[in-house]
Amino acid sequence: MMKIKVGLGTCGISAGGELVYNKLESVIKERNLNVELCETGCMGMCYEEALVEIEENGESFLYAKVTEDKVERIVEDHVVNRNPVEEWIIRSSEISKEDSFLKNQNRIVLRNCGVINPSVIDEYIAKKGYEAIKDAVKNKTPQEVINIIKESGLRGRGGGGFSTGMKWQFAHDAVGDKKYIICNADEGDPGAFMDRSILEGDPHSVLEGMLIAAYSIGADEAYFYVRAEYPLAIKRLKNAISQAEAKGFLGNNIFGSDFSIKINIKEGAGAFVCGEETALIASIEGKRGVPKLRPPFPAIKGLWNKPTNINNVESFANVPWIMLNGASAYNSLGTEKSKGTKVFALAGKIRRSGLAEVPMGTTINEIIYEIGGGIKEGREFKAVQMGGPSGGCIPASMGELKIDYDEINKTGAIMGSGGLIVLDETTCMVDLAKFFLTFTQNESCGKCTFCRIGTKRMLEILERITDGEGKQGDIELLEDLGGKIKAASLCGLGQTAPNPVLTTIKYFREEYEAHINDKKCPAHSCPSLLVYSILDDNCKGCGLCIKECPVGAITGDKKMPHNIDQITCIKCGKCFDICRLNAVEKI
């Protein structure tokens, strides 16, 4: 039977995928066609949404940028007459327009995303789903499971990069009458959507990874901590838990063993600080989400003061694959100290935004140019922001840097959870630092003075600089404050909050100096430092800019060069955007 899959992750739905699905459903019903229509998760190619894949007799055809008005032709030509619409296909056995996006990827975490229907457990089972936990509880001791994860070299994908196997070992060795497992799905970095897409596209892999972790440390209860802003992920996760319970994969005496477990879901309110594990634990307990001093670590004294292991979504999604394929299959990928693959959310000024999973050791340039297709509109690659508000900027000159926990840390940035925002020459690095510091300052829980007050003082300096009021000594003051905040803050949020500022100063100091000394923004981005003027030789007096100006700052007779009153001008840029003759200059 022919099968039609529609990518219905959040990205696909926002691009009109749900409308396409409903139209397909209606047309198939009207024509009484013998076709299976189903949903799937994000296929990774967010830039080509909405995506529709047609499978039959082992062949697959992937249609891109599908809209409602394309459905009738796809059904008529392809489904009814078996004549694929080639101009809309980006991938098939004969057409490979997107080979460069996929050929350098190695999909372990994303192995089922965009492949299976996340709402149907039998499709996950058909991909060897739940075989890893079955083998673990029937044939392996908890310590043997931990040893496999240790040998694999898997490090936590939530940002810290700590050895997953060692983390499990600490919780396993801890003494307690009850233990807990927590999945941290509180993905809060601007530009990051890896965890959301995994939960939407393959929730069972994360669930199975949690079960294996619970078995290894002796936990009988687990929590998913998911931000409430992810309603589709929560919906599919609840469905996955319900289906797993019905199959006997959750509950009491799983696979006839002594292992029993209960799974709960806690919806977070969107506080960035609750991504920190002790604040997350407090939130689950119904308390205000603020960090605690460590030690003791959660492995010893965690949820309700019981031994607790916390990993993030991507970490757990790796586990079933490792258990089925072996530690050596995993640690053969990557670098000496960073094994396996890493999922990145590509966003910003890049041609192909979406999800990419690459082996550790892949260079920044390979991700941007070979997978991401390069910079939009042919502009110049300037930098990447890695690790979100806790990360930092890496300049284009370091594009050959290999993606590796230790190598990235040496730059002053961090790997983080995997957000990778690409920047071009139109991005002001001072303004970017201000954007991220605004975020972390707003999200500070306020518990420690250095984070609460220090980030506020840094933000005030950045605001002055971008407003054209910077002064000598501001850069040094930012560096001094940043160092003290990193050294004295209680949790990871405060300790990493200065990173965007410190890395932009480190690699783009000349931009700070231009703002302060010359009162100019080299990227022509900061409104307070811009001057708009009209070039007499180019202006034909069409009057479009006069009509567009909201404050009446532009004057001039018809068919004569116009003029901008700099005192009245509010620097909104509407004249620059509307001019078709390049007569408005931005300096």
Q: Is 417:189 a contact under the CB 8 Å cutoff?
A: yes
Q: Residue 18 is encoded by which pair of tokens?
A: 């749900």
For residue 291, whether the previous peptide bond is cis, meaning omega lies within 30 degrees of 0, is no
The rounded distance, in Å, linking the Cα atoms of 297 and 281 is 11
Q: What is the DSSP letter of 467?
A: T
Residue 399: which residues within 8 A CB-CB, separation 6 or more? 363, 364, 365, 368, 381
Question: Which one-letter amino acid corresponds to residue 317?
Answer: A
Q: Residue 420 is encoded by which pair of tokens?
A: 């990778």
CA dihedral 84, 88, 94, 99 (to 10 degrees): -150
- pLDDT tens sequence for the chain (587 residues): 899 999 999 999 999 999 999 999 999 999 999 999 999 999 999 999 999 999 999 899 999 999 999 999 999 999 999 999 999 999 988 777 767 788 889 999 999 999 999 999 999 999 999 999 999 999 999 999 999 999 999 999 987 889 999 999 999 999 999 999 999 999 988 888 999 999 999 999 999 999 999 999 999 999 999 999 999 999 999 999 999 999 999 999 999 999 999 999 999 998 999 999 999 999 999 999 999 988 999 999 999 999 999 999 999 999 999 999 999 999 999 999 999 999 999 999 999 999 999 999 999 999 999 999 999 999 999 999 998 888 999 999 999 999 999 999 999 998 888 889 999 999 999 999 999 999 999 999 999 999 999 999 999 999 999 999 999 999 999 999 999 999 999 998 899 999 999 999 999 999 999 999 999 999 999 988 999 999 998 999 999 999 999 999 999 999 999 999 999 999 999 999 999 999 999 88
The pTM score is 0.93
The rounded distance, in Å, linking the Cα atoms of 496 and 519 is 29
Residue 98, pLDDT score: 67
Determine how many CB atoms are found less than 10 A away from the CB of residue 332: 13
Mind giving me the DSSP string for 393-452?
Answer: EEEGGGTT-B--HHHHHHTT---TTSEEEEEETT--HHHHHHHHHHHHHHH--S-SHIII
Residue 553, pLDDT score: 96
As separate numbers, helices (DSSP H) first and strands (DSSP E) second, the chain gives 24, 18
Q: Is 271:289 a contact under the CB 8 Å cutoff?
A: yes
The rounded distance, in Å, linking the Cα atoms of 254 and 395 is 51
In three state form, how does the secondary structure of 68-131 look? HHHHHHHHHHHHHCCCCCHHHEEECCCCECCHHHHCCCCCCCCCCCCCCCCCCHHHHHHCCCCH
The rounded distance, in Å, linking the Cα atoms of 420 and 357 is 12
E strands, 259-407, are 262-268, 308-312, 341-348, 354-359, 381-386, 392-395
Q: Is 180:308 a contact under the CB 8 Å cutoff?
A: yes
Residue 270, pLDDT score: 86
Domains of the chain plus CATH, in order, are 2-99 (3.40.30.10), 121-330 (3.40.50.11540), 341-424 (3.10.20.600), 429-518 (1.20.1440.230), 530-586 (3.30.70.20)
The rounded distance, in Å, linking the Cα atoms of 207 and 64 is 31
The rounded distance, in Å, linking the Cα atoms of 264 and 182 is 9
